[in-house]
Amino acid sequence: MKNKNTVRKIESIIELLIMAVAYYFMWKYKIFDRAYFYPFLGRGKYVLMGIYFLMMLVIIHLCEGFKYGYLRIADVLFSQWIGIFIVNFITYLQLSLMANLLIPAGPLVILTLIDFAFSFVCVYIFFAIYDRYARASKLLMVYGKKESVGLKLKMDTRSDSYNVSKIVSITEGMDKIIELMKDYDGIVISDVGAKKRNDLLKYCYMHNIQTYITPKISDVIISGGEKIHQFDTPLVHINTTGLTPEQEFVKRFFDIVLCTVASVVLSPLMIIIAIAIKLEDHGPVFYKQARVTKDGKVFDILKFRSMVENADQRPADDDDDRITKVGHVIRATRVDELPQLFNIIKGDMSIVGPRPERTEHVEKYTEAIPEFELRSKVKGGLTGYAQIYGKYNTSAYDKLKLDLMYIEKYSFLLDIKLVLMTVRILFKKESTEGFDKIVNPDEILKDLEADSND
């Protein structure tokens, strides 16, 4: 398949049409009580079917549920199921408003189960098509000072998409690299100085060669720039102030509304957790820790206490004997973070943003990476770009670039997307553990070697 994106779009439309038709048949065969919706029994049901189709398209797309062959099959399936549940819940509210009463939920439960079944079948069929016909790109990796073994190992975990067959140093010379590229589908450029990297990019662009590149911090910052067309010389305006006042207002409004509702809905669970913590060892319910947020402001982050009192400040692994019995449960389910809803309502944090680090961590990170301070242009978040797309062992430098990608590409829609995707990663241990592990500055400096030509 030469154009995988086109194939993904076709597969997505097919799946959406199947779900929309299932919704239509709920009307046709009177599974919904038609007495509630008499005005919509004619052409109105086609309008409702169209609305249902569009909601599925938008919500599942936000959850990244159409990335067949890009994400792993379990991730695509779970993302779709999250989207289906949200859409059918909204549909239930929509139909209840139309009927001016709470309609029986049974038909929507049936529809949700049918959608889940169709999703399961479609996803497995579409992935089977990729396994049969799609071929992983055979790639040549070019590195500069530091051999990119780590990047190759990461790409090797997705052998269905990438086949890094050879690694060569940029010191081999442009002529040799250009000659080697003839035997490959594309090239990966990692840790190459600015001039030689630009030469490679221009050559690949001119000859339609598939190209992957590890961005430097300056690349990430430029990527969020605004294109200026007030005269005939191209100009890019770099945003150096973080979010605009309008964006901050919308973000703050969203934080207050969502967290207030969540606090009310989750209050029974939080009360149960608080009682369980108190009953186990009679110690304090909450654990406070100094963290750094926007503009370097220090605040006390709240968590449900999961360790014994007076435990060493060294971060604990999951098998640490200082973690209480209740602590093991609330850490595994991530509900120990729920008190941070109050931090968000207070204004110390936001729902989405770079994860606020400990004060001592910030000092160490900034010592090794001066650019680490760039994260403080926005408030720290309960979830964030680096938490969604990173892992527990993602390097501090890569997490910094992920956080900067969020800041530079910020939009309200992106916040909605990251909130929805957070539900998915809560069930992936590799993505949720170890956010607070301290890293030796010497280890961070090793990561910086790859960026010495920035």
> Do 345 and 263 contact (CB within 8 A), yes or no?
yes
Question: Would you give the distance in Å from CA 361 to the centre of its chain?
Answer: 23
Supply the mean pLDDT for the chain: 85
Measure Cα distances from 164 to 73, 146, 402 in Å: 22, 17, 23
Q: Are residues 176 and 196 in the same domain?
A: yes
State the angle between helix axes of 4-28 and 106-133 in degrees (0 to 180), rounded to the nearest 10. Answer: 160
What residue type is assigned to position 244 of the chain?
T
Query: What does the pLDDT average to over 3-12?
Result: 79
Q: Are residues 53 and 189 in the same domain?
A: no
For 152-161, 184-193, 338-347, 442-451, which range has the lowest pLDDT when averaged over its residues?
442-451
Q: Phi, psi (5° rounding) for residue 453?
A: -95, 5
pLDDT bucket at 437, cuts 50 / 70 / 90: very low
> Do 312 and 355 contact (CB within 8 A), yes or no?
no
Residue 223 lies in a domain: no
Which of 133, 167, 198 is where one domain is finished? Answer: 133
Q: Are residues 284 and 169 in the same domain?
A: no
- Tell me: pLDDT of 449 over 80: no
How would you classify the pairing of strands 298-304 and 286-292? antiparallel
CB atoms under 10 Å from CB of 1, counted, come to: 13
Q: Tell me, what's the pLDDT at 313?
A: 56
CATH number of the domain encompassing residue 200: 3.40.50.2300
* Strand blocks (E) in 170-247: 186-190, 210-213, 226-228, 235-237
Residue 391 lies in a domain: yes
Residue 235 lies in a domain: no
- Tell me: pLDDT of 410 over 50: yes
Range(s) of the domain holding residue 278: 245-451
- Tell me: pLDDT of 1 over 80: no
- Tens-place pLDDT, residues 321-354: 788 899 989 988 889 999 999 999 999 999 999 9
DSSP state of 93: H
Residue 418 lies in a domain: yes
Q: Are residues 354 and 295 in the same domain?
A: yes
| pTM reported for the whole predicted model | 0.83
DSSP assignment of 127-154 equals HHHHHHH---EEEEEEESSS--HHHHHH
Which of 171, 195, 214 is where one domain is finished? Answer: 214
Residue 227 lies in a domain: no
The two tokens of residue 162 are 């990438």
Q: Tell me, what's the pLDDT at 161?
A: 84
- Tell me: pLDDT of 436 over 60: no
Q: Are residues 111 and 141 in the same domain?
A: no
> Do 358 and 396 contact (CB within 8 A), yes or no?
no
Q: Tell me, what's the pLDDT at 428?
A: 65
Q: Are residues 382 and 254 in the same domain?
A: yes
